[in-house]
């Protein structure tokens, strides 16, 4: 019986793909396997990050899409014999987590940039309404995302029966920003001690604005130093390439003798130490 070659090829690809899928499914669904535990923890972390960003996508959906894409890439690399596709598997595995981490960091910076406006708005709302809950609702209506989303979620918790102080603490944990935590601590302390909340919030907002101004000055002053550090860090590689192009044998002793290897290791160690030293010096934190 003669079976067409294309049919055999596609049939074999389908059977191998099915076998790989069944093997992966068996390993993953085995609740006692270490792989299953790792995937479950990874899914929980992704789901938490998606909730922090208020995304409709869940961690389970991301993991399922990653698994399907990884399976396709593995099968394609085997049958096409293009093993560079396995490198794409690494990207598929790490890019979602890196993207979510980047978006969370970006969101924290956006919240910090809105913090002084939020405190001023809350202070003005408290001047017309002594209730902190009503003032937060007014601020939520006036503020823009991303802080608006956190305020609305906090108010939903409060309306569902969570004490307002606990709802504020939960919001602080979700945002996980040092500046925002300090501001909420000020609000909670003022609420519990019965201080003049509008005045306290106005002073906190003024302090944050001054801190932002000082950080801008520091960034401006250190920008030139950072650019110089990048140039100096890249000069050794540029010089090495240029010398090798002009005289290919001039650097040959570095790779053909024990002394040359010692010199290269020492030079690499000093370069790394210099990079970390420059980074530590220029990383000024107010």
* 208-228 pLDDT tens trace: 777 777 777 777 777 777 777
Query: By percentage, how much of the chain surpasses pLDDT 70?
Result: 83
* Separation CA 243–CA 159 (nearest Å): 71
Instruction: Give strand ranges (E) for the chain.
Output: none
Q: What ranges do the domains of the chain cover?
A: 5-83, 107-212, 220-282
Check: CATH 1.20.81 for 107-212?
yes
User: Do 17 and 73 form a contact (C-beta atoms < 8 A)?
Assistant: no
Q: What is the pLDDT of residue 112?
A: 82
pTM over 0.75: no
User: Do 115 and 180 form a contact (C-beta atoms < 8 A)?
Assistant: yes
Sequence-ordered list of residues with C-beta below 8 angstroms from that of 116, at least 6 positions apart, any chain:
205, 206, 208, 209, 212
Q: What values do phi and psi take at 129, rounded to 5? A: -140, 120
* 95-132 pLDDT tens trace: 888 888 888 888 888 888 888 888 888 888 888 877 88
Instruction: Name the residue with tokens 């003022």.
Output: 190
- Over residues 188-192, mean pLDDT: 79
* 228-267 pLDDT tens trace: 778 877 888 888 888 888 887 787 887 788 888 888 888 8
Mean model confidence pLDDT for the chain: 79
């Amino acid at each position: 019986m003669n079976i067409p070659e294309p049919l055999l090829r596609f049939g074999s690809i389908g059977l191998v793909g099915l076998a790989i899928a069944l093997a992966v499914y068996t390993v993953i669904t085995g609740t006692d396997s270490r792989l299953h535990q790792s995937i479950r923890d990874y899914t929980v972390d992704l789901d938490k990050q998606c909730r922090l960003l208020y995304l409709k996508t869940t961690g389970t959906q991301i993991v399922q899409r990653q698994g399907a894409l990884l399976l396709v890439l593995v099968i394609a690399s085997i049958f096409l014999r293009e093993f560079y596709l396995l490198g794409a598997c690494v990207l598929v595995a790490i890019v979602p987590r890196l993207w979510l981490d980047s978006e969370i960091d970006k969101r924290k910076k956006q919240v910090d940039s809105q913090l002084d406006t939020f405190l001023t708005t809350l202070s003005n709302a408290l001047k017309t309404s002594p209730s902190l809950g009503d003032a937060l609702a007014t601020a939520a209506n006036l503020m823009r995302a991303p802080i608006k989303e956190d305020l609305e979620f906090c108010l939903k918790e409060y309306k569902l029966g969570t004490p307002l102080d606990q709802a504020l603490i939960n919001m602080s944990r979700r945002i996980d920003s040092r500046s925002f935590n300090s501001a909420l601590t000020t609000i909670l302390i003022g609420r519990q001690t019965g201080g003049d909340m509008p005045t306290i919030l106005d002073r906190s907002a003024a302090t944050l604005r001054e801190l932002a101004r000082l950080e801008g000055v520091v960034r401006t002053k250190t920008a030139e130093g950072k650019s110089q550090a990048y140039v100096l860090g890249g000069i050794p590689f540029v010089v090495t390439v240029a010398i090798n192009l002009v005289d290919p044998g001039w650097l040959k002793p570095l790779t053909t003798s024990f002394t040359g290897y010692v010199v290269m290791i020492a030079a690499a160690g000093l370069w790394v130490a210099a990079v970390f030293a420059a980074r530590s010096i220029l990383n000024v934190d107010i």
